Each structure stands twice: as structure tokens, then as C-alpha cells.
Structure 1
Amino acid sequence: MRHQLSIVYFLGLLFCNQSGHAQDSLFTLQVVWEKAIEHNKELKVGALEVGKSEVLLKDAKSERLPEINANGSYSRLTNMPIYEHGIFHGPTVVPVINQSYSIGTEASLNLYHGGKTRREISIKKVELEAILNQQQLSLADVKFKSASYFYALLRNLQLKELTVQEIAYEEKQLTEIGHLYKNGTVLKSDLLRMELKISNQKMLLSEIENNITLSVQQLNIIMGRADQAPLDPVVKNIELVEPYALSYDDYLAIAYKNSFEFRLSDNRVVLSDLNLKQVKSNILPKVDFFTSYGYTYPQSQFYPYSDALFGIGQAGIKVSMPISGLYLNKYKKEAAVLKRNEQAVHHEIKQDEIRTGVRAAYLHYTEALQRIEVAKKNIIQATEALRILKASYFNQQSLLTDLLDAETQLLQSKFDLTSAQVGAQVQFYELQRIVGKI
């Protein structure tokens, strides 16, 4: 009697059958994740954006430092013509010192500018946090996509194993029916039906093998390997975590705290608030401390003038007030308020989407677990039904069509169990992705 292969048992057989393969063709999901992360170009771009944002944050902090300038000049001067009787009469030429030069330094330190510098640093911090959240969201997407491909390949490999076993079983049964036909116990139509079923099973096997080839290619591409490089998934055990330990409300609370999409939406709201405050500060006064010292030749700045080098320094406070900002800033402020309100609405929309997504993922996962239990019961019932029909057919008490239907039902039940187990695992990772735990 045929028996059900669990995923664990199947993979054990698969590992033994493939023991002659190169060691580097064996991949656990963790290894797949590591290689996918290493070769994903979006993550590489994200890492560069993180680096750029960190530099911009440092640049914003450097605005607190004083601004220091050094300056110098040298020039040659002509004598000074004085047109005492107008430009159409000859001037009186007064000789002057024909060279002039100066050198000095000046520094200024912003003492107050409506809190703009402090808020600009806060803006850069939030922008960096948003980029990090986007990077984590991309990472979660890559891991979920890799897991989906990984378990799709695992499912197809198990379906292949079940189909190969079914074909072997059917061919053995075909031989038995052939003996009955030679003895005149059954009709030739029974023999033809069995041959047709085996032919269909082989066609199904060909389709499954094509799906395996595509799944291998998808995984290899995401890991940066050659399209058809050997790849065997290795799973020691598939542990399906029961979601009932945490309620829907628990998962929703986790999502509001850890979901990278929700964090990104929150970052946008915070940025809009900070930008509004920046716009409001455009009408506030600016206070700078300044100082300078320099040498100039000749001394022509103060009377009496002197044909000599002189040095002078100064220090003080400079206050400026953008009076025109009282009317020019009006519409900028209105636009910033509208932008802030827009982001608040988007945040509420994202909150609704998160709530809906968590509910759907939670229900689909619990539904997948129920399908596993139903599939297990179906296998038990289909196995018993096949045992009864097989005995009755070879005792000439039932039709071959009934036997073939029972065999098909058992194989389908095994397919359903495999699909349910793999589907539950994928749904589990989908739930973890949505709540920000993958």
C-alpha cells in the first residue's frame, strides 16, 4: 500500500538520492536569503542612499560651527585727475599712492535664526530614519520573495516525487491488469484505460519538471547564480507556528510598532511638521556674532590718512529682520499646512491598509493550517477507499473507473497536503513581512 510522505521524510529521501551532487548545490532558506541580499541591486542602491543621508546629517550639524573667511587683495592705482572746471577742461592731476593691498580674516557665528539650524538637523535625522526604514522594507520584500521561490521549488520537487511513485505504482498495476486480460478476466478497455492514465501521469510529470526548471532559474537569478546552476533546497523541518498564541489585535499592535511601511508613513508626517515650522520661522529675526581683523596699506579708511600699513579689528552682534517675509511668506505657509494635512490623511490611509493587510494575512494563515488538517484526513479516507476498491476490482466486484477515480483522489489528496503545507509556510512569512518581523 502506498503511504504518505511528509515533507521532512521526502527531503530526507531527496538528500540521500542527491548525495552525489556537489555540496554547493545544497541551499537552506537562510543561505538563499544571505545570497539574495548580497546580490540584490536595490539593496545596494539603498545602502548608498543611507551613506549619503548620513553625510547630509553631518553636513547639517556642521552648520552650527562658525563661518571663517580669509581675504586679501592687491591693486595698482592711477593718479587722481580732478576736473575743477568740468570734464571738457583739463584736470588737475593729484598724485596718490600707486599701490594698495590688504589681508585679514573674519568670522561669524549664528546665535539665533528661528531654530532653523536645529530643525534642519532634525529633518536630516528623520530623512535618514526614513531611508533606513525603506532599506528594511526592501530587505523584507527580498526575503519574502526568496522564501516564496524557495518553497515553490520545494513543493514542485515533492510533487515530482509523488508523481514518480504514482507512475511506478500504476505501471505495476498495469502489469497485473495485463495478466488478468490474458486470462480473459477483464476487458481490453480496462487495459487501455490504465495505459491512458499512465500516459497522462507522465505528461503531468513533464509539466512538474518544467516548473522545477523555472523555480530553479528564479532562485538562481535572485542569488546572482547561473540560471540553471544545480540547486537543491534543504529543510531540516518545517515548523508551522500556530498563530493562536497571538491574537489579531496582538499582531496589529506589532505591525503599528514594527511595520516598515507604517514607519515610513510616520516619517513623512514628521517631516511635513518640521517643514511647516521651518516655513513659519522665515519671518523670525536672525542674530549673528561677528568678528574680523586685518591689515591694510595705505591707511585711507580713517582721517588723517597715512602712507603706512595699519591693522584694525572689530567684534559685535548683527541683527537682521526679514520684514518682507511678513507678506511674502503667507502662501508658503499655506502650502506647507496643506502638505502637512495631506500627509496626515495619507498616514490614516496607510493605517487602514496595515489593519486590512494584517487581518487578511492572519486569516489566510489560519485557513492554510486548517487545510493541512483537512488534507491529512482526506488522505486517510482516500487510502482506505482505494484499499476497498482495489480488492473489489480484482475480485470482479467493481469497475476499473471506480478504481482509477480512487487512485486519482488519493494522489490529489497528497498533492493538496503538500500545497497546504508549503502555502501555510509562505502565508506565515507574509504575515511576518506585514508586521515587520521578517
Structure 2
Amino acid sequence: MFNHIKKYFLVYLLVQNSSFLLAQSPADAPQIKPTLTLDQTWNRALEYSKEININNLEVQVSREEIAESRHERFPEIALKGNYEFATNIPVYENGLFSKPTQHEVIHLLYKLGADYYFNIYNGNKLNLKIDRKKAAYEVAQIQKNLTVSEIKLQAAAYYLDLQRSIIFKDLMVKDIANQEKQLAEINDLHKHGTVLKSDVLRIELKLSNQKMMLVSIENDIIIANQKLNILIGLPDEQLINPSEQIAPELNELKSYEEYLEIAQKNAYEYHISEKKVEIKKIDLKSTKANVKPKVGLYGEFFMANPQIFLYPYSPSNYTLGIFGVRASIPLSELYINKPKERIAKMNLEKEEVEHHHTDDKMREQVFQNYQRFKEALIRIDVNKKDIDQSAENARIVKQNYFNQSALITDLLDADIQLLESQFKYASSKIQAQIQYYQLQNVLGTL
């Protein structure tokens, strides 16, 4: 009998160990969640972003266009040559319908040569073209910085949204544990006939709702996690653990005038608008240069056969070099260029008006984000006090309920109010950080 029991016990241990090994197989092993700081998230987002890659290429193209324009300062040099065959020349001595006599000519002709032109002055058009390319290059750089700022803002929003959902989950798990403990206490009271069965049912119903809310929060975490993964180039199913941190600058609230001064120095859209005005001014100068004279050095050197440049002609090789100064005045541009100048002036005026509109919009955005950021900081303090008050209220109501001087509805309301105040406090801290980064994006310092 003893041996039979011993065998049964060994079989039981073997089954339990097999189940344990299967539970610890690699397929079912818990996934390791890498911890990412916000700076690490930004670095990954910027490295993975295709928009920034496009902006980098645009900056490189603009830089090369400046070099291309500068190369136009070099003289234009060309090599040319031709090889020809000429027929005899028929001469109609007795009229067009009579048989002509054939005048012998040199049949084979060739010419090899080179020419160049070096621009001395062309209404300063080349310098204006280079200046325009430089302004376009600066616009491309500012646009790249704007894209970087917007991607960092988006990454911060996804990161903090994930962080908020994780904090909500932790609060909900703790609340469910407290509710289960409280349910056990109320069950004990019900067994002794102190409370009604309806009190137990209400607590159980609330606990079920809390667990359903926990499922919803876990889905929020999965969704926020996937959004962030897509942005930073990780697999959709990769879980991330955002390290909890509060921006140290949150308590350093400056005045609106200080923020406006920072924006005027750094705001990306404002400086892009400035550069566009500069480009339109260059376009106007370039249009006015159309009526100015053009002066340059030119030359030509060639070797040819036969010699038909000067009389008498000769079936011999000869060389010739020609050098000089060439000047021209585009007289037709004096009247053709007038409407072009008017169009260029109107485009400049339009761009200046748009720049003033951008300035107004920038001041509006700075003021709005400044006010919202200040409001978010105040909300943190208010919600912190709400937690203390709600916790004290929940303690008093719970004590009164178990002393049978409060209703179950009062107890449930107090618990819900405490959990809601904890949610609001956590959310207000996250929202303040998001608002801070939105303000930095508007200021051009993100």
C-alpha cells in the first residue's frame, strides 16, 4: 500500500514539473519590455523618419544649386568643328534654261576651332541668382528644423499618452485590490447580518465595472504602444516601458513677453516667411536688371582649309584668332520689362502681407499655448489638493459605513471620487508636459 502511494506521488511530481517546463517555454515566455526615455524616443523617431530624410535631400540639393550658380562665373568655352563637301557651281551664261558651264571649286572643306565668352557685367543677375539660391537653401534648412520639431512633438504626445495609460492601469489595479479587500470585509459583515445583501451586490457590481474599465485601459496601452512603435520604427507588437519623468522646466514659467521674444528669434514658420520676403525682393531686383547692358570678353581661334576668309582665296590650311569686347543693350526690354516689374512688385507686396499675417498668427499661438501651459500648471496643484481631500473623505465615509452611520451609496461615491481625483492628477501632470512641448514647438526651441 505504501509503495502504491509513493508511486502515485512521484507521478504527480512528474506531471507538475512537466507543466512547469511547458509554461516556461520560449513561445509563452513573457516579452521583455525595453525602457525608453523621451530623449531616446526622439532619437529613434528622427532616425526613422522619412520626412526628415526628404528634408535632408532638399537641403543637399539647395547646397549644390548654390555651387552650380557659382560655377557660372567661369567663362563659357566651346570646341567646334565641321567637315564639308561642296559641289561645282553651275553658271548659266545663256539663261536659266540653257546648259550651264561648271565652275570648279575646292570640294573638301573643314574647320576646327574654339571660342569663349567671359561675362563681365550683366546687370548683376548672376550675383542675384546666387543670393536667391542661398535664401532657398536657408529656407530648406529651416523647413528641416520645423519637421524635426513637429516629429518630436508627435513622438512626445504618443510617448506621454502611453505613459498616462500605464499610470491609469496601475491606479486601477490598486483600486481593484482595495475593492476586493473591502468586498471581503463587507461579506463578513453580511454573514453576521450587519449589512444587507444589496450592499454586497453593489460592491460586486462596482468591482465588475472596474475590471471592465481595466480591460479598456489595457487596450488603450496596446493602441498607444503601436502608434509609438510605428513612429520610431519598432514592430507593432513590441511592448515599451516609458520611464516616468517630469520635464524639469515645467516649474520655470516665463512671462508672455519673454516667450514672444524667444519666438521672434527662433520660430520656424516666422523665419521661413522672412526668407520668402527676401526671395521676392531678389526677384524684383533681378527683373529690374533685365534692362541693364551686358558686357563681356569674347574670343575665337580656329584652323581651316581652304582659306576663304580674305580674298584672294587659297586651297591651304590657315589659322586665325579673334579677341575683343562685346556689349549689348536690350532696347526692347525697356517696354517689355515694365509689366514684369509691376508683377514682381505685387508679388513682393503680397509676400510682405503674408509675413505680417504669419507674425500675427505666431503671436496668437504663443499667447494661446502660454495661457494653456499656465492653466495646466495650476491644474496640477488643484488636482493634488483634490486627492488629499478625496482620500480623507473616503476614509471618513468608510469609517462611518462600517459604523453603520453611512449608506453604501455614500461609500461607493467616495471611492469613485478618490479614483477619479487620482486619474485627474495623473492626467494633469501628463497634459502639462504635452502643453509644455507644444509651447516649445511654437517657440522654435523643441
Structures share fold, TM-score greater than 0.5? yes
For residue 44 of structure 1, what is the amino acid of its counterpart?
A: N
The alpha carbon displacement at 1:299 in A equals 0.7
Cα deviation 1:213-254 (Å, max 9, x = unaligned):
11001000001221121211123554243243x321111111
The alignment partner of 1:63 has SS state of helix
The alignment partner of 1:86 has SS state of coil
The alignment partner of 1:296 has SS state of strand
Aligned to 1:396: 404
Q: Does the Cα contact within 8 Å between 2:35 and 2:242 map onto a contact in 1? A: yes
Hey, what's the Cα distance between the residues in 2 that align with 1:163 and 1:239?
A: 27
1:222-241 alignment runs, 5 A limit: 222-241=231-250
Q: Does the Cα contact within 8 Å between 1:291 and 1:316 map onto a contact in 2? A: yes
Hey, what's the Cα distance between the residues in 1 that align with 2:243 and 2:427?
A: 17
Structure 2 residue ranges without an equivalent (≥5) = 1-28
1:84-99 alignment runs, 5 A limit: 84-99=93-108
TM-score, scaled to structure 1: 0.93
- Tell me: CA distance 1:87–1:266, structure 2 relative to 1, closer, same or farther (3 Å): same
Aligned to 2:158: 149
Aligned to 1:280: 288
Report the RMSD for the aligned CA atoms in angstroms. 1.4
For residue 134 of structure 1, what is the amino acid of its counterpart?
A: Q
Hey, what's the Cα distance between the residues in 2 that align with 1:165 and 1:239?
A: 28
Cα deviation 1:367-392 (Å, max 9, x = unaligned):
11101000111111111111111111
Size of the aligned set, in residue pairs, is 418
Aligned to 1:265: 273
Aligned to 1:326: 334
Q: Does the Cα contact within 8 Å between 1:240 and 1:424 map onto a contact in 2? A: no
1:135-214 alignment runs, 5 A limit: 135-214=144-223
Aligned to 2:414: 406
For residue 90 of structure 1, what is the amino acid of its counterpart?
A: K
1:39 and 2:52 matched: no
The alignment partner of 1:329 has SS state of helix
The alpha carbon displacement at 1:293 in A equals 0.9
Q: How many percent identity over aligned positions?
A: 40
1:94-109 alignment runs, 5 A limit: 94-109=103-118
Hey, what's the Cα distance between the residues in 2 that align with 1:56 and 1:341?
A: 27
Aligned to 2:37: 28
The alignment partner of 1:114 has SS state of coil
Q: Does the Cα contact within 8 Å between 1:104 and 1:295 map onto a contact in 2? A: yes
Structure 1 residue ranges without an equivalent (≥5) = 1-19
Q: Which runs of 4+ in 1 moved over 4 A?
A: 20-24
1:118 and 2:157 matched: no
The alpha carbon displacement at 1:346 in A equals 0.5
1:349 and 2:357 matched: yes
Hey, what's the Cα distance between the residues in 2 that align with 1:331 and 1:435?
A: 40
Q: Does the Cα contact within 8 Å between 1:240 and 1:425 map onto a contact in 2? A: no
The alpha carbon displacement at 1:260 in A equals 0.8
For residue 329 of structure 2, what is the amino acid of its counterpart?
A: M
Q: Does the Cα contact within 8 Å between 1:243 and 1:366 map onto a contact in 2? A: no
The alpha carbon displacement at 1:83 in A equals 2.2
For residue 149 of structure 1, what is the amino acid of its counterpart?
A: Y
Cα deviation 1:138-171 (Å, max 9, x = unaligned):
1110000000000000000000000000001001
Cα deviation 1:31-78 (Å, max 9, x = unaligned):
111111112111111111112111111111111111000111111111
Aligned to 1:335: 343
**Segment drifting more, 327-336 vs 136-145:** 327-336
1:247 and 2:255 matched: yes
The alignment partner of 1:241 has SS state of helix
Q: Which has the larger radius of gyration?
A: 2
1:215 and 2:224 matched: yes
Q: Does the Cα contact within 8 Å between 1:243 and 1:362 map onto a contact in 2? A: no
